[in-house]
Amino acid sequence: MEASTMNALYGGLIIGLSATLLFALAGRIAGISGIVTAAIKPGSDRAWRWLFIVGLLLGGFAYHYFSGAPAPQLARQSYWLAIAGGLIVGIGVRRGSGCTSGHGVCGIARFSKRSIVSTVVFMGAGIVTATLVNILLGAF
Amino acid sequence: MTRLIALVAGILFGFGLAFSGMTDTHKVLGFLSIFHDWDYDLTFVMGGALIITTLTFQWTMKHGETLLGGNLHLPSACDLDPKLVSGAILFGVGWGLFGYCPGPALTALIYLEPQTVVFVVSMLIGILAHDFFATLSKQSQ
């Protein structure tokens, strides 16, 4: 297999290990959108969530520091796409109760019917959208 | 203890995201563009993660509590409803527009790209706006 494919597999295994730690030791689901929402809204139990978010940035930094891999360039440079994409992702993950991590990595592992449906639907919507943007704006 | 576990889990998660290619929007949009020179690498991210989580989550749920004897916090909803599907559609559309879902977007803040910062701020506004209007409509019922 190519190096990039192996990287994807290793990265996936590490993500699985992370979700395992959080669930088996702390009893919490590693769902990023849920963690972020509870971190930014008033409420209790926010500290561990903020630490998880800080960890997300530290971990990414550690990867690039130790591997020497360069920072990736953005495929789409448009600020309008960034604003529209961000707003729609934010509304969608709340309305649909989760994203790639909570539904895709943790929910499917729990054999949750909701998570399986959600993952199939957001993958499909992502494929249709990316394809339409390629047609309208040209491939990235 | 939960705080230490969360920090370690967050570091591993962010490391895994950057390692896997999920923080590279070329890889993500290449993965979503199945009709245009498909880059299938990222199927191995969810695949690799699920190999581990399926085993460990099933085991932990059978065990009924955490290894430290604490409660498992599981989502209570189990029925399919239109909101789940329309929410997933919206999320997928936003993902396909720019190439980031929430986790990779946060990790990618370290690259200091202004568009990524704009994406994350917009995402937080979207989250808060959704919850604000959801609470309003619940109150008016």
Mean pLDDT, rounded, for B96-125: 98
Taking alpha carbons only, the member of B47, B130, B94, B27 closest to residue A36 is B130
- Residues A107 and A126 grouped into a single domain: yes
Rounded to the nearest angstrom, the minimum Cα separation between A91 and chain B is 5
- Residues A68 and A92 grouped into a single domain: no
- Residues A11 and A40 grouped into a single domain: yes
CA B71 vs CA A98, B60, B62: distances in Å: 21, 11, 13
> What are the chain A neighbours of B69 within 8 Å (beta carbons)?
none
Show the tokens assigned to A125: 């919507």
Q: Which of A33, A74, A92 sits opposite B25 (nearest CB)?
A: A74
**Averaged confidence pLDDT in chain B:** 96
Show the tokens assigned to A132: 């339409």
Taking alpha carbons only, the member of B7, B4, B103, B71 closest to residue A23 is B71
Show the tokens assigned to B33: 């563009």
Q: Is A81 on the interface with B (CB under 8 A)?
A: yes
Mean pLDDT, rounded, for B111-131: 98
The residue from A22, A48, A72 where one domain ends is A72
Complex ipTM? 0.97
Structural domain total, chain A:
2
| Closest residue, chain B, to A100 (C-alpha) | B101
Q: Assign B140 a pLDDT band (cuts: 50, 70, 90).
A: confident
The residue from A72, A89, A122 where one domain ends is A72
Question: What is the per-residue pLDDT for A104?
Answer: 97
Query: Residue A49's domain spans which residues?
Result: 1-72
Mean pLDDT, rounded, for B91-115: 98
Helices (H), A1-140: 3-26, 32-40, 47-67, 79-95, 113-137
| Closest residue, chain B, to A120 (C-alpha) | B88
Largest Cα span, chain B: 49
pLDDT of residue B141 exceeding 80: no
Helices (H), B1-81: 2-20, 25-32, 43-63
Q: At CA B55, angle to CA B27 and CA A115, rounded to 5? A: 60
- Listed in sequence order, the residues at least 6 apart from A44 whose beta carbon sits closer than 8 Å to its beta carbon are none
Q: Is A85 on the interface with B (CB under 8 A)?
A: yes
Contact flag B99-A75 (C-beta cutoff 8 Å): yes
Could you give the CA distance from residue B54 to residue B82 in angstroms, rounded to a whole number? 26
Cβ(B126)–Cβ(A83) below 8 Å: no
- Residues A51 and A27 grouped into a single domain: yes
- Residues A60 and A111 grouped into a single domain: no
The residue from A28, A57, A72 where one domain ends is A72
Contact flag B99-A76 (C-beta cutoff 8 Å): yes
What does each of the 140 residues of chain A score in pLDDT, given as a tens digit? 789 999 999 999 999 999 999 999 999 999 999 999 999 999 989 999 999 999 999 999 999 999 999 999 999 999 999 999 999 999 999 999 999 999 999 999 999 999 999 999 999 999 999 999 999 998 88
Show the tokens assigned to B13: 């998660």
Could you give the CA distance from residue A42 to residue A76 in angstroms, rounded to a whole number? 34
Mean pLDDT, rounded, for B41-56: 98
| Closest residue, chain A, to B72 (C-alpha) | A27
Predicted TM-score (pTM) above 0.95: yes
Structure-token match 């789409």, residue found: A76
